[in-house]
Copies of this chain bind each other. A is one copy, B any other.
Amino acid sequence: MISGNLLYEWAEQLFPLSRSLSGSGVRSTLEFLSSKVNSMTVQEIPSGTEAFDWVVPQEWEVSQAYIEDMQSNRLVDWKQNNLHLVGYSTPINAVIEKEELLRHLHFLDGQPDAIPYVTSYYEKQWGFCLSKNQLDQIGSGPFKVVIDSKHFDGVLNYGEIVIPGNSEEEILFSTYICHPSMANNELSGPVIATAIAHWLENLNPRRYTYRLLFLPETIGSLYYLSRNLETLKKNVKAGYVLTCLGDSAMFSYIPSRLGNTLADRVAKCALEENGQFKSYSWLDRGSDERQYCAPGVDLPVCSVTRSKYHEYLEYHTSLDNLDFISPDALEGSLDLFRSIVLILENNSKPVVATLGEPQLGKRGLYPNLSTKNAWSEIADLMNIISFCDGNHDMIDIASKCRIPISKVMENIHTLTQHGLVRQ
């Protein structure tokens, strides 16, 4: 079983890599993750490939990017923090006045310590990001600005894991690998997805086939959907977008567009057993469920995070760093998704084998002495049996009986062993 500490170590090793939509940072990330599991394949999509309404952009590579004053003091340097460079910046090598430079600088007035994360994938421009504190110290210029970057026809990469089960019916997990050095809103997703895959490889038997995708956000999921839509619509019974799973906040649930799919029902059921959680609306979504749930795509995909993207101050800044996540939180998140898988694997619509209540006493399941309090001892079991009518699945039963899903699964297991329930 992969521990929270190991998950955190993986995140530490992946943190410095310069990820973007495409390029060597993504490839290194996927290479690292694929070394932890048996079954990851890494795919390439050529630049210019169409994906629904979109086109796969060119590959982007940077060798250096900095701002210097006229005394060659490095004021801002991409090598120190890859958030300093606006993603997909065009090259430049020039001396410019402060006024012009300012038009290309991004900072956050309200968070003077934080370097913001900014990209411009679909319009050619250049820019630097820095903290307000840094900005206040850069002097009056002029400045030497160097971005050694190139855009070229290359590939977009993504990783895919397929772990077959007894059925072609699939459970989908999707996470993204396109953000530079941020911990919660980047690395928590891929490391937990990898750990889920590792655990699933060892889970036997598997009722469902499991598909785990490690994609650049938006363009990656759009491309994948454009090539696999019919198969996914046919097979995927539930899916989850994995992101923001490493900080210490309580869990958040973001529903699918349709709102009560199997994915949603199982997620809520697992969350309810786990403790308090925060419920959002579809209107609060913001990751690849936007594509998976789009009209005409309509996959049953929802999302469980800890602090939701957009909702925490550190989001999309340099403050979303390794201090913001913890081994415990990562491990708790992995546990939650294991619960989700176990509910999916075990869920059924059980049917009681007798007409009328079964006689539990002769099977040792009922106190033979009927006293004033006898009922309360077996009320949960009797309540569960009373809903084993073939119309309620275990999630319904947990909700109707107001007991945790794990207790329902346990009792149904016992009843099944006594031949009292058929699944």
Contact A52-B354, Cβ < 8 Å, known A106-B371, A293-B386, A295-B389:
yes
Shortest Cβ distance from A117 into B: residue: B372
For A342-382 the 0/1 string (1 means CB < 8 A from B) is 00000000011011111101100000111110011001001
The one of B118, B221, B359, B390 in contact with A371, judged by C-beta atoms closer than 8 angstroms, is B118
State whether A369 touches B294 (Cβ < 8 A).
no
Nearest-CB distance from A127 to chain B (Å)? 8
- Identical subunits present: 3
Nearest-CB distance from A290 to chain B (Å)? 6
A286 at the interface (CB under 8 A from B): yes
Contacts of A225 in B (CB 8 A): 355-356
Interchain CA distance A400-B295 in the complex, whole Å: 15
B-contacting 9-mer, from A24-32, A142-150, A203-211, A309-317 = A309-317
Contacts of A123 in B (CB 8 A): 361, 368-369
**What's the tally of chain A residues with a CB closer than 8 Å to chain B?**
68
Contact A370-B54, Cβ < 8 Å, known A355-B226, A355-B296, A402-B283:
no
A229 at the interface (CB under 8 A from B): yes
Contacts of A402 in B (CB 8 A): 283
A120 at the interface (CB under 8 A from B): yes
State whether A372 touches B294 (Cβ < 8 A).
no
Contacts of A316 in B (CB 8 A): 371-372
The one of B218, B293, B296, B383 in contact with A352, judged by C-beta atoms closer than 8 angstroms, is B296
State whether A52 touches B296 (Cβ < 8 A).
no
Shortest Cβ distance from A376 into B: residue: B310
A108 at the interface (CB under 8 A from B): yes
Contacts of A359 in B (CB 8 A): 53-54, 122
The one of B294, B355, B369, B376 in contact with A356, judged by C-beta atoms closer than 8 angstroms, is B294
Nearest-CB distance from A156 to chain B (Å)? 15
Contacts of A351 in B (CB 8 A): 295
State whether B283 touches A370 (Cβ < 8 A).
no
State whether B53 touches A361 (Cβ < 8 A).
no
Interchain CA distance A355-B52 in the complex, whole Å: 6
Contact A226-B122, Cβ < 8 Å, known A106-B371, A286-B375:
no
Q: Can you sample 16 A-B contacts with CB below 8 Å?
A: A51-B356, A54-B356, A86-B369, A119-B369, A123-B361, A123-B369, A125-B368, A127-B369, A229-B355, A283-B401, A295-B388, A295-B389, A297-B356, A310-B376, A316-B372, A317-B372
Q: Which 7 A-B pairs have the closest CB atoms?
A: A295-B389, A123-B368, A53-B354, A316-B372, A52-B356, A122-B361, A222-B356
